[in-house]
């Protein structure tokens, strides 16, 4: 049985057991022993799974970025083709995050009744709210806070940054490291590439192994939340899911088509038709890496882009261009801030935008890996561990369908880059095989 079916079954069981448990003690003054035992067991399992995800954060992000950037620098014609590709990916990523930020601020899915917030915060809203507010205040210090962001980008001690989880500095170092690997002579460059690619393969294997326990981890994260808050959560998450889907829809059916027309005079209908097999595969697998062979096949055979452009832009895009993921991460963080009653100022939201863009680069193309990045962003803006665990459990209620949708958007964004870059290089004869 495939992973997505296992996760779906796990979610169904979580809903049944969690909601039944909540309803069974609805009118009781105190929770019975079986309720507390089930809740504690699930929390133990969920925390273990969450710790596993946190464990691979730093090696996953660092190795992915180093491998991607070193390959770019080593390609012939890097100066022109590389800048075009990176520029387009940066543009679409920024537009995606801004779209998500606009949607979540306009719709405010986290603004719910105070009693629901109290339940989600495990009946200790005021205590945790003080912790959150204090942490956010320290992060959101106006212009000084903005300067601090750039200070964190250049850590004085790389190992200290790694142990403290300061991913911003690690990402900056990884970008520099990967770029200068491409500038080494061939012997040293090949050795470095071989080392980092093999290390990245090991980390990906470990990550996939941890993700294989996602059905159990999902059950452990979601069930306690539903046991605590009951049916109220469903209404809250329904509005959150619609906010994410609206943002993804605007990016896929408005922003990207406009870019296709402006930069390539390409009709959206033709491109969407050509990419439909890859998009359906991306949606069903929730893995951009697994979809990459089919994406390359559609781009070359159904669209008509050359192998030179395809082999350069698409593997790179599958590693660093995650429009849907970046949008999702931004919406999740702001949604949880709204849910926990945290006022996010300009600097804090700027930090979220920056981290969503940067962490999406290092998110591997595997199912639910974006939750790893979300944990990083929440830690960066100052959420305490207990609130992060609660927030991830809440988001996981609807994460599967959103994961499938944002993966399809990721793949579609990569394909748009390939045809636009190909057009800019003078290629013609696209979509003749449709």
Cα(87)–Cα(98) distance, integer angstroms: 17
Kindly tell me if the per-residue pLDDT of 145 is higher than 70.
Answer: no
Average pLDDT of the segment spanning 199-222: 82
Average pLDDT of the segment spanning 160-181: 78
Cα(373)–Cα(368) distance, integer angstroms: 10
Kindly tell me if the per-residue pLDDT of 133 is higher than 50.
Answer: no
Top pLDDT among 103 and 54 is at 103
Supply the pTM of this predicted model: 0.68
Confidence of residue 233 (pLDDT cuts 50, 70, 90): low
Domain boundaries, the chain: 3-24+31-424
Kindly tell me if the per-residue pLDDT of 136 is higher than 60.
Answer: no
Whether domain 3-24+31-424 has CATH 3.40.50: no
Q: For position 400, what pLDDT does the model report?
A: 66
Kindly tell me if the per-residue pLDDT of 147 is higher than 70.
Answer: no
Please write the tens of the pLDDT for every residue from 48-66: 887 887 787 778 778 877 8
Please write the tens of the pLDDT for every residue from 373-430: 777 788 777 777 667 777 777 777 677 678 878 989 999 999 999 999 999 888 888 8
Q: For position 348, what pLDDT does the model report?
A: 78
Q: For position 124, what pLDDT does the model report?
A: 40
- Counting residues of the chain whose pLDDT is more than 90, the rounded percentage is 18
Please write the tens of the pLDDT for every residue from 290-314: 687 788 888 988 899 887 788 778 8
Most confident of 100-104, 198-202, 227-231: 100-104
The pair of three-digit structure tokens given for residue 397, joined into one six-digit string: 């209620």
Smallest Cα–Cα separation from 422: which of 256, 305, 272? Answer: 305
Q: For position 259, what pLDDT does the model report?
A: 95
The pair of three-digit structure tokens given for residue 302, joined into one six-digit string: 């159904």
The pair of three-digit structure tokens given for residue 97, joined into one six-digit string: 């995050």
Kindly tell me if the per-residue pLDDT of 288 is higher than 80.
Answer: no
Q: For position 198, what pLDDT does the model report?
A: 93
Length of the chain: 434
Confidence of residue 355 (pLDDT cuts 50, 70, 90): confident
């Amino acid at each position: 049985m495939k992973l997505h079916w296992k996760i779906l079954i796990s979610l169904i069981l979580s809903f049944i057991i969690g909601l039944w448990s909540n309803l069974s003690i609805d009118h009781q003054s105190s929770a019975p022993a079986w309720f507390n035992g089930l809740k504690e067991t699930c929390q133990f399992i969920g925390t273990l799974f969450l710790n596993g995800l946190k464990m691979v954060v730093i090696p996953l992000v660092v190795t992915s970025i180093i491998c991607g950037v070193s390959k770019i620098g080593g390609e012939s014609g890097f100066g022109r083709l590389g800048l075009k590709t990176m520029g387009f990916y940066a543009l679409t990523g920024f537009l995606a995050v801004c779209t998500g930020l606009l949607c979540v601020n306009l719709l405010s899915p986290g603004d719910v009744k105070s009693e629901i917030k109290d339940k989600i915060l495990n009946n200790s809203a005021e205590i945790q709210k003080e912790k959150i507010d204090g942490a956010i205040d320290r992060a959101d210090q106006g212009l000084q806070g903005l300067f601090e962001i750039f200070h964190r980008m250049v850590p004085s001690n790389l190992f200290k940054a790694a142990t403290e989880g300061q991913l911003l500095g690690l990402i900056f170092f990884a970008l520099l490291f990967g770029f200068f690997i491409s500038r080494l002579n061939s012997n040293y460059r090949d050795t470095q590439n071989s080392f980092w690619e093999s290390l990245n393969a090991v980390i990906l294997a470990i990550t996939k192994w941890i993700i294989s326990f996602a059905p159990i981890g999902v059950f452990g994260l979601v069930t306690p939340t539903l046991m605590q808050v009951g049916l109220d959560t469903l209404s809250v998450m329904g509005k959150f899911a619609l906010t994410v889907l609206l943002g993804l829809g605007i990016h896929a059916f408005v922003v990207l088509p406009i870019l296709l027309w402006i930069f390539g005079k390409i009709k959206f209908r033709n491109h969407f038709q050509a990419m439909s097999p890859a998009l359906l595969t991306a949606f069903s697998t929730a893995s951009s890496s697994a979809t990459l062979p089919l994406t390359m096949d559609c781009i070359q055979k159904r669209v008509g882009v050359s192998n030179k452009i395809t082999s350069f832009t698409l593997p790179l895009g599958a590693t660093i261009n995650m429009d849907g993921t970046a949008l999702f991460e931004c919406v999740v963080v702001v949604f949880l801030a709204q849910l926990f009653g945290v006022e996010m100022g300009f600097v804090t939201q700027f930090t979220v935008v920056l981290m969503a863009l940067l962490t999406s680069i290092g998110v591997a193309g595997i199912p639910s890996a974006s939750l790893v990045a979300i944990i990083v962003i929440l830690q960066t803006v100052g959420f305490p561990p207990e609130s992060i665990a609660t927030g991830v459990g809440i988001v996981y209620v609807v994460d599967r369908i959103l994961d499938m949708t944002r993966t399809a958007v990721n793949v579609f964004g990569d394909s748009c880059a390939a045809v636009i870059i190909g057009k800019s290089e003078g290629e013609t004869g696209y979509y003749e095989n449709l």
